[in-house]
Chains A and B, each alone.
Chain A
Amino acid sequence: MTLLDVAGLTIRTGGRDLVSGVSFSVEPGGRLGLIGESGSGKSLTALAVLGLLPPGMTASGAVVLDAPGAGRTDVLGAGERRLNRVRGRAVSAVFQEPLTALDPLMRVGRQVAEPLRRRRGLRGRALRAAVLAALEEVRLADPERVARAYPHEISGGQRQRVAIAMALACDPALLVADEPTTALDVTVQADVLALLDGLVAGRGMALLFISHDLAVVARVTERVVVLRDGRAVESGSVGEVVRAPRHPYTQDLVASARHLDRALDWRTP
């Protein structure tokens, strides 16, 4: 059984193809990396998987989500009601910018409570306990204080942890992480990456991990798809792609990653 099957995904706006014929699939509990430079169509692909393409864009091809308990959903053809049942449970997401991912006017605790209340039907004390547990699970020190804080009162790394807690609140079968560490300080990056890695493994969740950074993708995923100008130019296991890149673009990516590694004398595990 395949959890997510993307076949020939093409995203078009104003007569221009932003993504052309991209195909990949993710098994339950599997991990796939989507890598490519800025503007290569990674985020649009992620949004298509969530059925959240911006208005004015049309998608063709197929995006099928088949999560246990949520049924088989043709994301591109489904209506908003159907998608709202799938989102959160079958698939959820963490985005790049932790600053803007939280509502500035709402206390953090209330934002984390929202999906828990709606999906798990929790109220009152049980809801409050679940919020604190969710914040603890993403290893936020002093969850009580964080729950009471407004987003601008906590750091970028803390905000991203909160965003992860919200994405995991409904126990999705698949987590889409679109450059979740790109906007963070390097030291915080490693922590958040390790946290994400651990949580996904612990829950047996599948992961679609998006990054422009080969080293980061190599750390958390098993397989990668390399995107360039909206096309998948190469795909395979991380080992294969790093050891023997076939497409010139991938060779560049690997070479520059190795170059950086050597320059820093810093080896990826």
Chain B
Amino acid sequence: MTAPLIGEAEAAAPPARRRVPRSVTLLTGCVLAGLVVAVAVVSLFWLPYAPDDTSGDRLMPPGLPHLLGTDKLGRDLLTQLMIGARVALEAGAGSVLIGGVAGLAGGLVAGFATRWMDDALSAFLDILIAFPTVLLAMLVTAARDASLGSAIIAIGLAMSAIVARLARVLVKRVLAQDYITASRTSGTSWPRIVVTHVLPNIWPTLSVNLALQFGLAVLAEASLSYLGLGTPPPNASWGRMLQEAQASVFIAPAGVIAPGVLLVVLVVGVNLIADGVRDVADPTRRRTR
């Protein structure tokens, strides 16, 4: 809902003489995150073994026929890793979608609120933020079921409060700018001001924060799975793989290293993309490149 804004701002601008400079940051981020996306896409069509196939020996080292070895139940690690990629992306994207949209909407309302309304909304957001995500996840799970979907809803709701609080501050800061007053002076309506000035000006900061939230959501899903509040077995999440493998880290390090590395690759990749997009979207930063 918000992502096309940058595209729109660029497209509606008068024709540019020079092209947007290639951002190394953006490119690196795309490669890293793209790697994980590619693994997830492949997992939809092909897996080395069935997710619940425990026919292998336990804790096998990397080699053949299990490329990355097996876990303590004899399941193929590569298979779990590939499913985990899909679960991680779904957890991150789903939570950011819910948290981003709800948070932005709440932040806009709170950003425009004044006096007691503003105080009330701020207090409400602070309470929401203080509410433990695990408790929220238990409530959602009780209302629905223990599934990735429930975990995503819980993480997304918790995230929306954090995003809303940030968006509220950003909106207030933009609304205090002279160019908003100048725009109102020529009779621009509020909805139009939100679309043309407020959203583009809060987006650079907000998008970087959403990328950070993406990484946190992936980690949060891992923790919830461990508690039995996320993805149920046999579908693996990287976080659960990490936690299950930590007891045998010295015998079978691949069980920790593989999901750990992919987790870092994904989180770093998404953050680099956010940085790169901000550089492209913000002309004052672009020039210093």
Q: Which residue of A lies closest to B15 (CB)?
A: A148
Bound Cα distance from A106 to B186, whole angstroms? 17
Q: Other CB < 8 Å A-B pairs besides A110-B13, A167-B186, A170-B186, 12 of them?
A: A47-B181, A83-B187, A87-B185, A100-B177, A102-B182, A103-B196, A110-B14, A115-B187, A118-B187, A119-B187, A148-B17, A153-B283
B179 on the A face (CB < 8 A)? yes
Check if B197 sits within 8 Å of A103, measured CB to CB: yes
How many angstroms between the C-alpha atoms of A267 and B181 in the bound complex?
36
Q: Which residues of A contact B287 (CB under 8 A)?
A: 152-153
Pair A107/B13 contact, Cβ less than 8 Å = yes
- The 0/1 profile, CB within 8 Å of B marked 1, for residues 2-18 of chain A is 00000000000000000
B13 close to A106 (CB less than 8 A): yes
Measured in the bound complex, the distance between the Cα atoms of B180 and A93 in whole Å is: 12
CB closest chain-A residue, reference B189: A84
| Given A84-B188, A85-B187: A105 touches B14 (CB 8 Å cut-off) | no
- Residue A190 is within 8 A (CB to CB) of chain B in the complex: no
Cβ–Cβ < 8 Å partners of B177 in chain A? 100
> Complex Cα distance A109/B15, Å?
10
Known: A93-B185, A118-B187. A147 touches B14 (CB 8 A): yes
In the complex, whether B190 has a CB less than 8 A from a CB of chain A is yes
Would you call A169 an interface residue if the criterion is a C-beta within 8 Å of the partner chain's C-beta atoms?
Answer: yes
Chain A, 108-127, CB within 8 A of any chain B CB: 109-110, 114-115, 118-119
Q: Is B147 an interface position by the 8 A CB rule?
A: no
Interface members, chain B 115-138 (any A CB < 8 Å): 115
Query: What are the residues of chain B within 8 A of A153 when measuring CB–CB?
Result: 283, 287
Q: What is the size, in residues, of chain B's interface with A at 8 Å between Cβ atoms?
A: 31
A residues apposed to B, CB below 8 Å: 47, 50, 52, 55-56, 80, 83-89, 92-93, 95, 97, 100-107, 109-110, 114-115, 118-119, 128, 147-148, 150, 152-153, 163, 166-167, 169-170
B201→A107 contact, CB < 8 A: no
Tell me, rounded to whole Å, the shortest Cβ–Cβ distance linking A50 to chain B: 6
In the complex, chain A residues whose CB is within 8 Å of the CB of B284: 104, 150, 152
Interface residues of B in 54-98 (CB under 8 A from A): none
Q: Answer whether A101 and B200 are a contact pair too, CB < 8 Å, given A84-B189, A85-B187.
A: no
Residues of A within 8 A of B261 (CB): none
Known: A80-B190, A86-B187. A95 touches B181 (CB 8 A): yes
Q: Which positions 187-216 of chain B face chain A at CB distance < 8 Å?
A: 187-190, 196-197, 200-201
Q: How far is the CA of A79 from the CA of B27 in the complex (A)?
A: 49
Complex interface: chain A residues within 8 A of B181 (CB) = 47, 52, 95
CB pair B182–A95 under 8 Å, yes or no, is yes
B44: CB under 8 A from chain A?
A: no
CA distance A147 to B184 in the complex (A): 21
- A selection of 19 A-B contacts at a CB cut-off of 8 Å is A47-B181, A55-B114, A56-B114, A84-B188, A86-B187, A87-B185, A87-B186, A89-B187, A100-B177, A103-B179, A103-B196, A103-B200, A106-B13, A106-B200, A115-B186, A115-B187, A118-B186, A153-B287, A169-B186
Task: Please indicate the chain A residues that have their CB under 8 angstroms from the CB of B16 in the complex.
Answer: 148
Which residues of chain A are within 8 angstroms of B114 by Cβ–Cβ distance? 55-56
Chain A hits for B281, CB < 8 A = 105
The reply to whether B14 and A101 form a contact with Cβ atoms under 8 Å apart is no
Are A100 and B178 touching (Cβ within 8 A)?
yes
Does B1 sit within 8 A of A, measured CB to CB? Answer: no
Q: Are A114 and B188 in contact (CB under 8 A)?
A: yes
**How far in angstroms is the closest Cβ of chain B from A160?**
12
Interface residues of B in 1-60 (CB under 8 A from A): 9, 12-17
Complex Cα distance, B185 from A121, in Å, reads 18
Shortest C-beta distance, A96 to chain B (Å), equals: 8
CA distance A222 to B177 in the complex (A): 32
Query: In chain A, what residue has the closest Cβ to B179?
Result: A103
State which of A105, A128, A170 has its C-beta within 8 Å of the C-beta of B9: A105
Our pick among A83, A92, A152 for the contact of B283 (Cβ within 8 Å) is A152
Smallest CB separation, A100 vs chain B (Å): 4
